């Protein structure tokens, strides 16, 4: 098919592109340069037609706020009308009785309907009435409505934006739909704000029009009687002034009515004609029957024109009759479709068998709602999105969108995280304050700084470490004192990060696992096929439990190819989940060592006394869900106490506590300490990578003379 070239340089396209700018410049210049009466008549006719066209567009516009050019049109039409008024004034004062403007003469005589002095007086009265109606009634009322509409539109903008963000976060709408709705709200708010200012153009036009008419009359008296020596100065210049005022203010009146229609319709949909037909002429028949009866009663009262009222009453009664028949036919049709016999007792609405439950949700007290409002500079939504991206990179799993909602049951400054409806973390935020955290093992005196900063002692909600709330004025001072200063959005985002890392195994569902395998099958079909064909194929639930076992110990599953290859290799040997988890960990040895290594690629580990390690291995017990460590209660207590002391000694030196044991004992050591020390890292000797340096910093052993002891080495 041949390409079609569009000639953008055609005269018609050039005229279309240049007309708006040329028209605006011409309107402005018309205020200064004189024009002939023929051109003045043409422009006055165009002004009248343009105003009528705008009024019809407004009436038939489905949605008022979609006519976004209307405030600009108000400005241009006002300047255009004033330009014509100034030009006509110059011609009237310069030509006097020789002025031959047809439009002005027509409005000064034909519209009034009476010649002579009586016509002048009538025209003057009509002009004054039109000015009063336009200035006091239409313009003032429309201005007040536009002012209130702008205020309410601006006040409701933030809650509406938040509602859209909530729907987007919950997945109810797409990002494109959310962006479209936000743009529509901004456009609507900007439209009513512009209309609030544009209404002043109309009122200013009326006031200037009155001033110009007064100038025309006074100037005409002086020029006509003194300079031109005319005889009938009063009737000539008053007539011209009235005609000029009417021919310029009538279009302004039409524009004022259009503005009133726009601002009073607010956010209604459908054009005015449809709304009138639906909301006025389709009401209940009783309204029209009562109206017809009242008209008939008035027709029989003495002095009332029965020959006018009776025909109107007949028309109203006829409309009521036709409307009643239509409603009756509609009811019969609905009965036929629904069945003529209705049950005596309708059943209540059935509750769906599956009630939606958010995987991850954030409840906010009403005092924290502003944190998710973008227009107030809030960054929480962006922070949460960044957390989702970062955890996907670190853990290898994308957790679902967070549903954010306000909760009146919470305190105003409180927030709460829930996973599948279960409360997993909460905290309190002081809006306008910053959380100061003590970094590392510094010698900062928090108790003393609470008084020095006039702050409030608190605890970091994510890690439970002591902290201080300080005001904005003391933020720089706290940073200079060595504190890590965190703003409210970062506090919630950090807490969310910790919750996701801690509960990643709970968040990963069966459907998520299936989605992972489906996505990998496109790029690694051989790996997926090999895993699924092992002894009849691994079940999705088995792979899910392996993923969950890794995530529970904060081992990233991003390297899914190595994980699945290890499963494919060892699944023929054993299908036990804990065995496969251990084999996968060994395949991820470099990754795990990197996770616990320092910047110098050194991993500092705690060893276990061989006799104690053998006792832990001997305590192994089989259960339907896997193996567990079943140490004697007294021995378990001593073991935990020894581990806690050793871990505490390592932490005091600023190192990450990592326990190194044999492959047979690793799972049991982790299982035995999981309740008291859920974040304790335990690796086996099979997970040692040659790329890293391992340094023993202590031995965990139980002292028979005491309950427990830890002997850190002198390294």
Rounded CA separation 668/655 (Å):
24
Instruction: Say what the pTM is.
Output: 0.53
**pLDDT value at position 405?**
87
User: Contacts for 630-639 with beta carbons within 8 Å, 24 or more apart?
Assistant: 631/672, 635/702, 636/672, 637/707, 638/702, 638/707, 638/708, 639/612, 639/672, 639/702, 639/708
SS (H, E, C) 681-714: EEEEHHHCCCCCEEEEEEEEECCCCCCCEEEECC
Contact 472, 488 (CB under 8 A): no
| pLDDT (0 to 100) of residue 586 | 93
Whose CA is closest to 424, among 344, 475, 469, 360?
360
How crowded is the C-beta side of 184, counted as CA atoms within 13 Å? 12
Q: What is the pLDDT of residue 241?
A: 78
Euclidean distance between CA atoms 201 and 512, whole angstroms = 60
118: tokens are 């009586």
Non-local CB neighbours of 69 within 8 Å, separated by 6+ positions: none
> pLDDT means per 10 residues in the chain (715 residues)?
46 61 68 75 82 80 71 78 80 76 74 60 74 73 69 68 68 71 75 69 74 77 70 71 77 78 63 59 70 82 80 82 75 58 52 70 88 71 85 86 87 91 90 84 73 84 88 86 87 91 90 90 89 77 92 92 92 89 93 90 92 92 85 92 92 89 93 90 92 92 56 44
Q: What is the pLDDT of residue 397?
A: 86
Q: Residue 21: count other Cβ atoms within 10 Å of its Cβ.
A: 9
Q: Is 466 helix (H, G, I), strand (E, B) or coil?
A: strand
Helix (H) or strand (E) holding 196: helix 175-222
SS3 626: strand
At residue 550, the pLDDT reads 93
Rounded distance between C-alpha atoms, residue 204 and residue 564, angstroms: 77
The two three-digit tokens of residue 185, written as one number: 């709200």
Residue with tokens 């992972």: 516
Tell me how crowded residue 178 is: count the other CB atoms within 10 A of its CB.
Answer: 18
The closest alpha carbon to 91, from 100, 102, 78, belongs to: 100
């Amino acid at each position: 098919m041949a390409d079609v070239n569009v000639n953008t340089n055609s005269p018609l396209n050039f005229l279309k592109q240049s007309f708006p700018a040329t028209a605006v410049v011409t309107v402005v210049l018309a205020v200064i340069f004189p024009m002939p009466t023929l051109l003045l008549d043409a422009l006055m006719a165009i002004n009248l037609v343009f105003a009528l066209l705008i009024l019809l567009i407004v009436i038939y516009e489905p949605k008022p706020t979609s006519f976004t050019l209307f405030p600009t049109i108000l400005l241009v039409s006002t300047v255009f009308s004033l330009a014509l008024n100034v030009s006509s004034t110059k011609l009237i004062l310069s030509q006097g009785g020789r002025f031959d403007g047809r439009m002005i003469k027509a409005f000064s005589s034909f519209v009034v309907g009476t010649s002579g002095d009586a016509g002048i007086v009538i025209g003057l009265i009509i002009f004054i009435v039109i000015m009063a109606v336009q200035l006091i009634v239409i313009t003032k009322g429309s201005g007040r409505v536009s002012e209130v509409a702008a205020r309410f539109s601006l006040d409701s903008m933030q809650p509406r934006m938040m509602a859209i963000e909530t729907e987007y976060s919950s997945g109810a709408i797409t990002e494109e739909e959310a962006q479209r709705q936000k743009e529509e709200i901004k456009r609507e708010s900007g439209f009513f704000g512009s209309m609030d200012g544009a209404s002043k153009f109309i009122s200013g036009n009326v006031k200037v029009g009155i001033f110009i008419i007064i100038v025309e009359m006074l100037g005409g008296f002086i020029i006509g009687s003194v300079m031109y020596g005319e005889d009938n100065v009063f009737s000539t210049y008053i007539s011209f002034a009235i005609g000029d005022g009417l021919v310029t203010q009538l279009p302004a009146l039409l524009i004022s009515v259009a503005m009133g229609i726009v601002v009073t319709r607010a956010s209604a949909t459908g054009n005015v004609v449809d709304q009138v037909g639906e909301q006025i002429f389709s009401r209940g028949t009783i309204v029209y029957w009562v109206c017809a009866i009242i008209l008939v009663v008035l027709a029989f009262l003495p002095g009332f024109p029965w020959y006018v009222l009776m025909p109107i009453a007949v028309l109203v009664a006829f409309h009521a009759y036709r409307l009643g028949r239509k409603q009756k036919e509609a009811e019969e049709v609905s009965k036929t479709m629904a069945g003529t016999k209705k049950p005596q007792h309708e059943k209540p609405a059935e509750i769906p068998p599956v009630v939606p439950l958010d995987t991850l949700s954030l409840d906010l007290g009403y005092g924290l709602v502003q944190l998710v409002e973008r227009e107030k500079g809030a960054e929480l939504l962006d922070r949460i999105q960044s957390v989702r991206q970062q955890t996907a990179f670190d853990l290898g799993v994308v957790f679902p969108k967070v549903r954010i909602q306000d909760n009146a049951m919470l305190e105003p400054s409180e927030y709460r995280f829930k996973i599948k409806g279960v409360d997993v973390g909460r905290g309190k935020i002081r809006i306008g304050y910053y959380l100061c955290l003590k970094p590392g093992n510094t010698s900062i005196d928090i108790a003393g700084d609470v008084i020095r900063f006039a702050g409030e002692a608190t605890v970091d909600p994510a890690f439970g470490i002591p902290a201080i709330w300080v005001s904005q004025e003391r933020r720089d001072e706290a940073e200079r004192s060595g504190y890590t200063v965190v703003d409210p959005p970062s506090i919630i985002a950090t807490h969310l990060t910790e919750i996701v890392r801690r509960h990643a195994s709970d968040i990963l569902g069966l459907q998520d696992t299936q989605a992972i395998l489906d996505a990998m099958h496109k790029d690694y079909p051989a790996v997926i096929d090999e895993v699924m064909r092992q002894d009849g194929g691994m079940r999705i639930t088995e792979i899910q439990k392996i993923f969950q076992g890794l995530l529970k110990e904060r081992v990233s599953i991003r390297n899914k190819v190595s994980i699945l290859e290890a499963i494919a290799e060892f699944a023929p040997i054993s299908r036990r989940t804990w065995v496969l988890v251990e084999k996968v960990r060994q395949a991820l040895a470099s990754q795990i060592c990197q996770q616990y290594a320092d910047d110098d690629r050194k991993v500092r580990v705690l060893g276990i006394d061989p006799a104690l390690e053998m006792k832990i291995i001997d305590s192994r017990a089989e259960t339907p869900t896997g193996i567990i460590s079943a140490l004697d209660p007294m021995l378990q207590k001593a073991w935990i106490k020894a581990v806690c002391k050793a871990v505490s000694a390592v932490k005091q030196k600023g190192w990450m506590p990592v326990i190194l044991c044999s492959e047979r004992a690793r799972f049991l050591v982790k299982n035995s300490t999981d309740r008291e020390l859920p974040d304790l890292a335990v690796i086996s000797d099979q997970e040692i990578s040659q790329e890293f340096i391992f340094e023993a910093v202590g031995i965990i052993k139980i002292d028979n003379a005491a309950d427990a002891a830890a002997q850190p080495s002198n390294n």
